Amino acid sequence: MTKPKTALLVLAAALVAAPAAAQEDLRKIYSDAAAQWMDGRPEDAAGALKYVVYRSSDQALNAAALRDLAALLAEAGKNSEALAYLMKGEILSPEDFYIQFEKGWNLLSLEKYQDARAAFEKALTLTADQDLSSQARFALAMVDAELSGPEASIEQLRSVYTRYPYLLSPTAQLISADFERLKKRPHAVNFIKEALTYDSRNIQAEIDLARLYDESDFFVPAWQTYYTLSDMDPDEPFFVEKEKKLRKYVTGKIDNLLYWARMAWPAHREPLPDEQGPKVKVGLYADKTGTPSLVKSFSFITSADFDLVDTRLGKILSGKSGMQWTVSYDEMNRVYQIKDSMDSVAHSTNNSIRIVPKKGGVILIKSPDLGLSRGVNRGDKEIAGELLALVREKGFWLINETPLETLVSPVTAGLADGSKMPEQLKAIAVTVRTRLTRLARLASHTSGEYNLCDSRHCLPFAGLQQESTASSAAARDTRGETLMTGESLAIADLHKACGGSTESGVNDYGRTLPIMTPFNFYAHTLKGPPDGLLCLADDKTTSSDVYWTLLLKPRWIESRLNRSSKIGYIRALIPLARDSSGRIRSLRVEGTAGTAVLENPEAIAGALGAEALRSTAFSIRPLYKGDSPALFVVRGIGTGDGKGLCLLGAYGMAKAHGSKYHDILNHYFPLYKVRKNR
């Protein structure tokens, strides 16, 4: 039997241990809440966080749970509830910048502008961090627009515009809106154009520019901008109808007033070297699914004499280099006609035809008529090898049979976006060669008539004219080299900018990813990239590939979603599952007429930005007017899916560190080996 004194000591020890055990349980519940959030169960996560806030006596744990809970609630548009928890957080941490900043956003959404201003102004006194102070001043400008008018808002925004490069595009967008309220439309037009200069994929700015041009009676620029929008979002009837309506103001050939490349003569006048490697068939003018557009007509010029072959009748005629010929479908007579440089019909057929230049010659495809196809690069295109005009109903597909190696240099040049950095280009060339070779061996298209396409479905190929002296040297110096995993070709993915780390965890000297919780990731998107980041350009005003912010209006998201899901008006956008790098894997859209869940990155990017969204590594913060969101603030990191080679990171390695291309490839593909095929 235990002695009384000993029993008292045991009881006292138990009483001390009990809170500790309970506290450990609460930490486990907090950890589980983060896992539930990552797994796509935000409501379960919120419930667990509320329990931790209610039960915990640990100030640090309580503060962390409060911030996470407030972030989840604000994201879902539950601003009053979020504010209640933030008020409690303010008691625990009165000098916490984030508490005041979040108070301000929730008060702004509740249209309590005086209180929102006080919160943002206090937040500005609590930090010397340029990232955070710029975010607070950006938000304060929105408050000033409501309280003091557009002049006061512009004054706040100018401070951000001149000092902070990572909010240039959305700041210019807000300044444009303020000038429009002041009825200074020319100023509004100039600033919305600035917004697109700093972020060419700011689709909301593109929409605003089209509207401003239209309202200012600048009909041709309005038509051009609506055409661009109809190309970006071909299923949006408003853009298509606007483009058709404004077309009457356009004189001259429409295609020549757009952004398609037009060439008078082939860029390659001398014969190309004879490539001995494998040949591929490339479907030209392909859409995002990899399907070639139906071509009604096109002209062509060859750099060498050529033969024209009817695929059923055999060789029909021979033509001279430097002369322009035309191939077209005659809808009235239902035949395909080939006209010579004198516009005389040289051959009529119902069969497919092949254009076969003499050895080393190239073919320049000019002014292809793609009918109603949208979202396809209609530019002139120079190709090597043979061109097949494959008969289809009321038109034909263009398929280029060419040595695979001829594609490496121009595709590399296109991906390098004007860079002449030799080692970066060599790393890209090896990756491109690997990817093209692997895709050519797979059944990645529904048609067996071709095995590669010229769209981003495979790798964008604008034509041989895109190659540079530097890209040609890179392809030549790495000839035959591919990435291998064991005895198999590697999956050689690539993307433009990882923003700090790739999907596989390769570190590019970005900010260390925080422990993934709702608030931690949101706060991560508030901070700009560090100076040493490999994919960050020296000119930080061009940083939208790495760090970007979009101000998206619900109207266009609703329109895209209601084509298939009938959600009505949007009430909330709720990110569900995220991967370990914060990329959203699924997104729930709550509307007045229903709910839709977008289950993959393509669907998310398509709904929010008509595929202009750079990546799915982003946070969302709605800004409400009344019961409905007026704006979604989307803060994102990186461009692309983060897989494989970071194109801008490769440039950074070559320039800042003098890395050779093998080092670059080892950095991004640590599990693969470069092997030269003999």
Under the banding of pLDDT at 50, 70 and 90, the label for residue 16 is very low
CA angle 57, 63, 67 (to 5 degrees): 140
Under the banding of pLDDT at 50, 70 and 90, the label for residue 7 is very low
What tokens were used for 593?
């007429």
- pLDDT per residue over 317-330, tens digit each? 999 999 999 999 98
Give the whole-angstrom CA distance, residue 48 versus residue 44. Answer: 6
Give the whole-angstrom CA distance, residue 326 versus residue 310. Answer: 15
**Which residues are bridge partners to 400 per DSSP?**
282, 387
pLDDT (average), residues 619-627 = 94
Answer yes or no: is pLDDT of 8 > 70: no
- pLDDT per residue over 585-611, tens digit each? 999 999 999 999 999 999 999 999 988
Answer yes or no: is pLDDT of 45 > 50: yes
pLDDT (average), residues 173-201 = 97
Res 678: pLDDT: 64
Res 353: pLDDT: 96
Name all domains of the chain by residue range, CATH numbers in brackets: 40-248 (1.25.40.10), 279-489 (no CATH), 518-637 (no CATH)
Under the banding of pLDDT at 50, 70 and 90, the label for residue 276 is confident
Under the banding of pLDDT at 50, 70 and 90, the label for residue 277 is confident
Under the banding of pLDDT at 50, 70 and 90, the label for residue 23 is low
* Helices assigned H by DSSP within 571-621: 601-609
Under the banding of pLDDT at 50, 70 and 90, the label for residue 251 is confident
What tokens were used for 28?
């486990």
- pLDDT per residue over 380-400, tens digit each? 999 999 999 999 988 999 999
Max distance between CA atoms of the chain, in angstroms, equals: 118
Mean pLDDT score of the chain, rounded to an integer? Answer: 92
Higher-confidence residue of 25 and 482: namely 482
pLDDT (average), residues 188-194 = 97
Answer yes or no: is pLDDT of 295 > 50: yes
3-state secondary structure 658-670: CCCHHHHHHHHCC
Of 175-189, 249-263, 647-661, minimum mean pLDDT range = 249-263
Res 22: pLDDT: 52
Give the whole-angstrom CA distance, residue 536 versus residue 531. Answer: 7
DSSP character at residue 90: H
Answer yes or no: is pLDDT of 663 > 90: yes
Answer yes or no: is pLDDT of 509 > 70: yes
- pLDDT per residue over 353-365, tens digit each? 999 999 899 999 9
223: left (phi over 0), alpha (psi -120 to 50) or beta: alpha
Say how far residue 329 (Cα) sits from the centre of its chain. Answer: 37
pLDDT (average), residues 573-581 = 93
Res 182: pLDDT: 97
- Asked if 147 contacts 120 with a C-beta cutoff of 8 angstroms, the reply is no
Under the banding of pLDDT at 50, 70 and 90, the label for residue 622 is very high
Answer yes or no: is pLDDT of 314 > 50: yes
Q: Against a cut of 0.75, is the pTM above it?
A: yes
pLDDT (average), residues 273-293 = 92
Give the whole-angstrom CA distance, residue 336 versus residue 327. Answer: 7
Higher-confidence residue of 370 and 14: namely 370
Answer yes or no: is pLDDT of 18 > 60: no
What is the three-class DSSP state of 144?
Answer: helix
How does 51-78 read in b/e, with b if 16+ C-beta sit within 10 Å?
ebbebbebeebbbbbbbbbbbbbbbbbb
